[in-house]
Chains A and B, each alone.
Chain A
Amino acid sequence: MSEVSARVDAPTGCCFTMALPNSLVSIAVARSVVRRVTTFASDDAQSSFLIALTEVVGNAVDEHVRLGSVDPVTMTVSYDDSDTVSVSDCGQGYDAEPASVVPSNPSQESGRGLAIARSMVPEMAIESTGSGTTVTLPLVGLGIVR
């Protein structure tokens, strides 16, 4: 099943990068890897971080599927000066500010993902251009990569 096999590069320096398939299984793969290499401060911290990661990986995969991209989404775990998890896509980018606003009508079914991710990991950083988006989730205060 090539779809569920993620390529993990050999560790170089203080980070490693994974190529994630353009499938929702990437959410489970990303969460499993981060859970495996991270010691979280508490169960609640783990849930919070993994929810943010779920939203970010899901958005990246959705964007690649929407564009029909064959490039993988990538996830980089850094553990040098600061421990972070970054997720990058090759999509068309978006304006992070309006995308982070919760729909005013609560009966709307979608549109809450980035706002929830930001509430779970307030230091989340988004760099978005017309050729891709990288979302960085710092682990500070939530856990450390061991």
Chain B
Amino acid sequence: MNPSGMRLELGVERSSSRGDIGVVGEFDRLNIEHFDRVSAGLTSVLREFVVDLRRTTIIDSAALGSLVRLRHALDDVNCSMTVIVSKPFQETVMRVGGLFDYLGVVVDNDPNTGTS
């Protein structure tokens, strides 16, 4: 966890050109520069990109803006995007933000996942 409360977990499977980025903790305007920088470094060689938000405790509108920017960047390289959420507040933020379909949001209802 960095001083402002967010940790990123990265994984890239080169064989399948799939990249995963897990966001843990507070995903907000205090942290989005870090997310933008790390995710931008992963997009060029991938065909599938998964953003796992199940262990976030905060997702604000700036974080949504960051995800939209990522989607734009992935569109430019024909890479698909999936965002995984599990908690009610996470799902609400995505739905109210009008981004459920646009970002390819998937709700994981397994109670054993998404716990930190």
Contact = CB atoms under 8 A, between A and B. Distances in A.
Interface in A96-117: 102-104, 106-113, 115-116
21 contacts: A43-B87, A44-B88, A48-B92, A51-B89, A54-B58, A55-B60, A55-B61, A102-B98, A104-B98, A106-B68, A106-B99, A106-B102, A107-B68, A107-B102, A109-B65, A109-B68, A110-B61, A111-B61, A112-B96, A112-B98, A120-B89
Given A44-B87, A48-B89, A55-B61, A27 B28 contact: yes
B69 A109 contact: yes
Interface in B96-116: 96-99, 101-103
Interface residues of B, number: 29
A47 B61 contact: no
By DSSP majority rule, is chain A's interface helix, strand, loop, or mixed? helix
B89 A47 contact: yes
B83 to A, nearest CB: 13
Of the four ranges (under 10, 10 to 19, 20 to 34, 35 or more), the interface on chain A belongs to: 20 to 34
A27 B88 CA distance: 23
Contact of B96 (A47, A54, A104, A119): A119
A104 B92 CA distance: 17
Contacts of A47: 57-58, 87, 89
Interface string B31-61: 0000000000000000000000000011111
Interface of B: 4-5, 28-30, 57-62, 64-65, 68-69, 71-72, 87-89, 92-93, 96-99, 101-103
Nearest to A109: B65
Contacts of B29: 24, 27, 54, 58
